[in-house]
Amino acid sequence: MTDKDDYKPRSASRLATLSVAVRKSAYATRAIPWQPSPQPVRASASAKPNDGRNHYVEMPDLSNIDLTQLPHSLQALIECIGLDSAYRLTHAFGGRPKYIPKHRRRTKLADVLPPEALDALIQRFAGLALEIPKSDHFQRQLRNQQIQRESASGLSRSLLADKYGLSLRQIGNIRRQA
């Protein structure tokens, strides 16, 4: 009797048994999908109240952002809706095209933007699909400013490089920008 004679098609229960065995193996632990924890997550005392917007963004201090260092598309967006609203928009939809409707009730942008910013956006770009820039431009400037502050307070280049995951050369370049 050969191996070919022993061949039997796998049934659904056999496949289920195999998938359970694969999940239990040491090499397949990363393939198991994430399961939520059974304990409820409690809101901390520092949690922000729900203001009705689904895309609440903790706003960093954007007052020191150098607008000339941002891409032209982002500068035009800031000119239209303001710095804070542009940050919220890039944080929620950055890196993908977003259609700007002609009427405010036809969009989820109202969840992200205040009404006056949404009206300004609709007035200028209604009917167009805008390529929303990524929020990396803001984040990079904020990170570099933090590195410059910490460097001025006496932290070494190697500590800063380890902390921010950058090379010594990158830290040196950021320190020279000040």
The three-state secondary structure class of 47 is coil
Give a yes or no: residue 141 inside a domain. Answer: yes
Residue 148 maps to a domain: yes
CA atoms within 13 A on the CB side of 84: 11
What are phi and psi for residue 28, nearest 5 degrees?
-105, 15
Between CA 11 and CA 46 the distance in angstroms is 53
Residues 113 and 157 in one domain: no
127 and 142 share a domain? no
Task: For 136-151, write each residue's pLDDT tens digit.
Answer: 999 999 999 999 999 9
Measured CA to CA, the distance from residue 92 to residue 19 in angstroms comes to 37
Whether 118 and 130 map to the same domain: the answer is yes
Domain region containing 111: 67-134
Mean pLDDT of 130-139: 91
What does the pLDDT look like over 164-177, one tens digit per residue?
A: 999 999 999 999 98
164, 91, 167, 172: which is closest to 133 by C-alpha?
Answer: 91
Cβ neighbours, 10 Å, residue 164: 16
**pTM for the structure as a whole:** 0.63
What is the tally of structural domains in the chain?
A: 2
Around Cβ 142, how many Cβ atoms within 10 Å?
16
Q: Rounded distance, CA 36 to CA 72, Å?
A: 42
pLDDT band for position 58 (50/70/90)? confident
- Is residue 88 situated within a structural domain? yes
Clarify whether residues 109 and 158 are in a common domain: no
Amino acid occupying residue 10:
R
pLDDT tens-digit map of 62-104: 888 889 989 999 999 999 999 999 999 999 999 999 999 998 8
Write the CA distances from 120 to 17, 38, 46, 80, 105, integer angstroms.
58, 44, 32, 6, 14
- Statement: residue 6 has pLDDT above 70: no
